[in-house]
Structure 1
Amino acid sequence: MTLLYVVAGESSGDVLGARLVARLREARPDLSFAGIGGERMAEQGVESLFPMRELALMGLLEVLPNIRNLTRRMDQTVAEITARRPAALITIDSPGFALRIAKRVKPLGIPVIHYVAPQVWAWRQGRVKEMAHRLDRILALLPFEAPFFEHAGIPVTFVGHPVLESGADRGDAARFRARHAIGPDEQVVLVMPGSRRTEVSRLLPIFGETLRLLSASRPSLRPVVPIAGPVEEAVRSAAAGWSPAPILLRGVEEKHDAFAAASAGLIKSGTSSLEVAMAGVPMVVGYRLNPITAWLIRRMAKVKYASIVNILADEEVIPELLLEDCRPPRLAAVLGRLLAGEGVAAQREGFARVMSLLSPPGGGSPSEAAARAVLDTVGPAP
């Protein structure tokens, strides 16, 4: 069997890794897999070297207290890759961990493929030169990323965005309302605070207070919070005191049904905004960072927007309330206007334009395009 080593560091990467492993196994039954992942990769038979949730950290002040454990896990990962000598290392997103692993593995002569281009085009553009010495190929999700990285000498394949095969636009609103006894006059508000512990700890109190303020004028509000595995305990604990009480969800089908039933969304900046846009749910984006990380990003940011939807559209399709602007009264005001129908049609028209940009040029699904790119790098079966 030809071994591929796959490393994912958070929930979205776990989903990508699972789809990629499934497509690769279909194309090449001789392949075997090892690495780091979560529940979805485990469903594909990939036993994680250690719990993936240990890597789900973001921001300088969040990483520093965990640096000793992260270093130990990095050493453990490199040691296993060195011992097993896979035909390729595939790192998925989580560039802080992935690129350090790539640096240490590259001298072994093992091809390194990074899936999800690091967003250095948004800030810290100088890092692209380092990546050219660590990566053999990047699998990019966004069409404008290929020329940026190719200019630095890194081969890039635009494989399309995985949101297109997520099923986010195929939920069943009636099923969701019936399952949770939601009346026809009640408005479902989708709340997505992220999949990293640091994100949810910072955003959930803000989002909870936003809903409390909004419910004073809209008593029929029904908040719904899909929970990512690595942060389940934190979300359940933080949301326990919310008023109105939220519906907490596990599972992809339930989440997509909630999308179909939602009148509006309160969403953290990031990939989740693209997923919600795929479902056509009007939203407001909010995000907070610790003051030091926020100061660094302000100094280095090269883009006008935080949401991928707005970056692709090159205009503010989705209202963004970031950093100091991410406050409950402001979020409640914008969300209230969306629930009243203001600006909904314009958002959905923008969503459609953005989605049209995300298909892989070679046809098929994004995961199939990613698998083809991996096999081009690995070469034919022995």
Structure 2
Amino acid sequence: MVAGELSGDLIAGSVLKGLKARWPADFIYTGIGGPHMGEQGFNSLWPISKLSLMGYVELIKHIPEILLIRHRLRKRWLIDKPLGFVGVDAPDFNFDLEIAMREAGVPTIHFVSPSIWAWRSGRIKKIKRAVDHMLCLFPFEVEIYKHAGIDATFVGHPLADKIPIVPDVASARAKLGLTGDGPIIAILPGSRVSEVERLAPIFFAAMKLLAVREPGIHFVLPVATSSLYSILQPLLNKYDELSLSVVDGRSHIAIEASDIVLLASGTATLEAALYKKPMVISYKVLWISAQIMKRQGYLPYVGLPNILLDEFVVPEFLQDFATPQALCTAVLKQLQDFGLRDSLRERFTHLHLALRHGTADRSAEIIDHVLRKKKRL
């Protein structure tokens, strides 16, 4: 198995849990993974951080090392063929590896469809060469693959299984030691260093404006790693007048405890939707990366809640539109419009139910079926 970043690690950890319940205890799971996979006994040959890169420009300087890692994995597994290979997200890394494995007779399963429905639809031809079976997080993806002659199954999203339908806000606030009657805003400027470097200064400036316009507001900032904390420390010093709690990781509890979430585009936006939270989404990449991405034919949305509901249900501020003033105004709108908050809660509840599908068991069932069909089990 190869997972390319922490969101994929979360998904792969769920898949491993299902596989371990189904298969003998002496099976070995190895490749590249993160902490959730490690909790299931996964043996990671390289740290997942080697593949967790953002943007075209950032990727270029790391290409030689990434290609060397893929070459070594391919060589290792062509000599000692595994029963099967599961690529989790990271399509640009995994598809070439999957093609080599499949041509050598190793069944290949890919989990998390790349966003061919949003951009780079031409990749469907490469996917057909690479993948025996695609596991889809979202139900509408299956028809796209079946139309292209690729076996695919909707298995739901593990976050939808994990997160309760009705969030326990009081319990989450107690776990974080949050008291008082003022509104609570969760701040999530990203999980990668490059994301935080670009978004955190804008988010902190917006927080200062919010504190002036909404006295009594309190912010919660989850920080997952020491490297991210070192980036944030100068901002914490600069804005030390803010009513702010910095918590060690636990982003899901911070989201559950909040009234509104201000966050970077990514998997966390789906997590916020599953916790039924109003949110404001923002994102910035290098200018040249943005120009390349514009030419790839994106949907008008980047946030998962908007993509899945096919509507701008929550606001997005990208690139130069991501200003402290714009973010502050949008957060206040979400905070003060109770009718909007009720409407979002209802729509996000329907979305949650649609994505709750027993992902761990369903994924393991399909992987088991593919390996048996290919006579590897």
TM norm structure 1: 0.90
- Residue in structure 1 matched with residue 67 of structure 2 by the alignment: 71
From 25, 30, 38, the equivalent of 2:34 is 38
- Are positions 1:356 and 2:349 aligned together? no
1:284-311 Cα offsets, whole Å, 9 max, x none, are 1111122122122222224231122112
1:168/1:276 contact within 8 Å kept = no
Q: CA deviation at 1:175?
A: 4.1
Which has the higher mean CA deviation after the structures are superposed, 61-70 or 166-175?
A: 166-175
- The aligned amino acid for 1:26 is A
Secondary structure, in 3 states, of the residue corresponding to 2:332? helix
- Residue in structure 2 matched with residue 234 of structure 1 by the alignment: 228
Inter-CA distance 234–306: structure 2 relative to 1 (3 Å threshold): same
2:89/2:110 contact within 8 Å kept = yes
- Residue in structure 2 matched with residue 322 of structure 1 by the alignment: 318
Q: Counterparts of 1:308 and 1:256 in 2: how far apart (Å)?
A: 16
1:60-79 Cα offsets, whole Å, 9 max, x none, are 10101111211222122222
1:218-246 Cα offsets, whole Å, 9 max, x none, are 342322223345xx412442254232264
Q: CA deviation at 1:267?
A: 1.7
- The aligned amino acid for 1:290 is L
1:173/1:258 contact within 8 Å kept = no
Q: CA deviation at 1:140?
A: 0.5
1:4-45 Cα offsets, whole Å, 9 max, x none, are xx1111111111111111111111125321111111111111
Q: For 1:273-352, what aligned pairs fall within 5 Å after superposition?
A: 273-342=269-338, 343-352=340-349
Cα RMSD over matched residues? 2.1
From 245, 248, 256, the equivalent of 2:246 is 248
Q: Counterparts of 1:349 and 1:291 in 2: how far apart (Å)?
A: 37
Q: Counterparts of 2:14 and 2:311 in 1: how far apart (Å)?
A: 31
Q: Percent identity?
A: 32
Q: Counterparts of 1:312 and 1:171 in 2: how far apart (Å)?
A: 21
Which residues of structure 2 form unaligned runs of 5+?
Answer: none
- Residue in structure 2 matched with residue 146 of structure 1 by the alignment: 142
Q: For 1:1-382, what aligned pairs fall within 5 Å after superposition?
A: 6-29=1-24, 31-167=27-163, 172-229=168-225, 232-242=226-236, 243=239, 244=242, 246-251=244-249, 254-342=250-338, 343-360=340-357, 365-379=358-372, 382=377
Secondary structure, in 3 states, of the residue corresponding to 2:116? helix
Which has the higher mean CA deviation after the structures are superposed, 118-127 or 349-358?
A: 349-358
Inter-CA distance 79–222: structure 2 relative to 1 (3 Å threshold): farther
**What is the total number of aligned residue pairs between the two structures?**
369
Q: Counterparts of 1:164 and 1:175 in 2: how far apart (Å)?
A: 19
Q: Counterparts of 2:294 and 2:159 in 1: how far apart (Å)?
A: 28
Q: Counterparts of 2:269 and 2:87 in 1: how far apart (Å)?
A: 23
Q: CA deviation at 1:323?
A: 2.3
Which has the higher mean CA deviation after the structures are superposed, 85-94 or 321-330?
A: 321-330
1:140/1:158 contact within 8 Å kept = yes
Q: CA deviation at 1:113?
A: 0.7
Which residues of structure 1 form unaligned runs of 5+?
Answer: 1-5
Inter-CA distance 315–171: structure 2 relative to 1 (3 Å threshold): closer
Q: Counterparts of 2:347 and 2:290 in 1: how far apart (Å)?
A: 28
Q: Counterparts of 1:170 and 1:239 in 2: how far apart (Å)?
A: 34
Q: Counterparts of 1:177 and 1:198 in 2: how far apart (Å)?
A: 29
Which has the higher mean CA deviation after the structures are superposed, 91-100 or 164-173?
A: 164-173
Q: Counterparts of 1:241 and 1:168 in 2: how far apart (Å)?
A: 34
1:184-213 Cα offsets, whole Å, 9 max, x none, are 223221122232333222222222221122
Q: CA deviation at 1:255?
A: 3.4
Greater than 6 Å deviation, 4+ residue runs: none
- Residue in structure 2 matched with residue 3 of structure 1 by the alignment: none
TM norm structure 2: 0.91
Secondary structure, in 3 states, of the residue corresponding to 1:121? coil
Secondary structure, in 3 states, of the residue corresponding to 2:102? helix
Q: CA deviation at 1:247?
A: 2.7
Q: CA deviation at 1:101?
A: 1.9
Which has the higher mean CA deviation after the structures are superposed, 318-327 or 275-284?
A: 318-327
